[in-house]
């Protein structure tokens, strides 16, 4: 099953975070299953920043350090084990960094006006009618910049987000 990419732009730096929080609630209620969700902001100085919900590389490094220490303790050399484990964990975290391409997000972010943001969401599956109803209720408005949705799904999303 393939995922759908949705990119929504906002004219301030906070609305993308608000929408990400709302989508997080919807995911906890099993109404949407997101593979990746990232807020991209461009500050007043023109600096583009990616705000990832979970840093897979850091998560991998922590897990790798733990396993490395455990293996190190078994072989009576915990510091060597921790160093090897952290390196292996960071590498596995980097390899598992599937989702939305960071370079793509930064390139798109460069085109933003300073003081704006966007939400990049990679959706595995969703219950569209319930998700759209909840998004409409939030009153958060932006502009749909890019999607891989069907024409009908994109039209429905635009009606909710852009109205």
Each residue of 29-39: pLDDT tens digit? 999 988 888 89
Collapsed DSSP state (helix, strand, coil) of residue 146: strand
Rounded to an integer, what distance in angstroms lies between the CA atom of residue 42 and that of residue 110? 8
pLDDT at 135: 93
Beta-sheet strands, E only, within the chain: 4-10, 32-42, 48-52, 116-126, 143-147
Domain(s) of CATH 3.40.1520: residues in the chain = 4-54+100-161
Place of tokens 């998560």: 59
Rounded to an integer, what distance in angstroms lies between the CA atom of residue 56 and that of residue 147? 24
Report the top-level CATH class of 4-54+100-161. alpha beta
- As a whole number, the mean pLDDT across the chain is 76
Backbone angles phi, psi at 162, to 5 degrees: -95, -5
| Predicted TM-score of the model (pTM) | 0.72
What average pLDDT does this structure show over 51-76?
A: 49
Q: Which helix (H) or strand (E) holds 17?
A: helix 15-28
DSSP state, residue 124: E
Rounded to an integer, what distance in angstroms lies between the CA atom of residue 152 and that of residue 148? 11
Model confidence at 59, pLDDT cuts 50, 70, 90, reads very low
Q: How many CB atoms lie within 10 A of CB 79?
A: 10
Q: How many CB atoms lie within 10 A of CB 73?
A: 12
Q: Which helix (H) or strand (E) holds 92?
A: helix 78-95
What average pLDDT does this structure show over 59-74?
A: 44
pLDDT at 146: 86
Q: Which two tokens stand for residue 121?
A: 């969401």
For the chain, what percent of residues have pLDDT higher than 70?
A: 71
Each residue of 98-150: pLDDT tens digit? 567 788 888 888 888 899 999 989 888 999 999 999 999 999 999 998 888 89
């Amino acid at each position: 099953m393939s995922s759908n990419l949705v990119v929504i732009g906002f004219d301030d730096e906070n609305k993308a975070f608000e929408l990400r929080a709302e989508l997080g609630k919807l995911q906890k209620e099993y109404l949407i299953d997101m593979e990746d969700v990232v807020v991209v902001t461009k500050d007043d100085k023109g600096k583009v920043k990616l705000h990832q919900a979970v840093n897979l590389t850091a998560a991998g490094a922590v897990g790798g350090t733990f396993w490395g220490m455990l293996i190190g303790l078994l072989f009576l050399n915990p510091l060597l084990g921790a160093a090897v484990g952290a390196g292996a964990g960071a590498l596995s975290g980097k390899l598992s960094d599937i989702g939305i391409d960071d370079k793509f997000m930064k390139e798109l972010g460069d085109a933003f006006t300073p003081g704006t943001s966007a939400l990049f969401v990679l959706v595995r599956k969703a219950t569209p009618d319930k998700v759209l109803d909840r998004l409409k209720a939030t009153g958060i408005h932006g502009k749909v910049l890019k999607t891989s949705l069907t024409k009908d799904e994109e039209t429905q999303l635009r009606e909710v987000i852009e109205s």
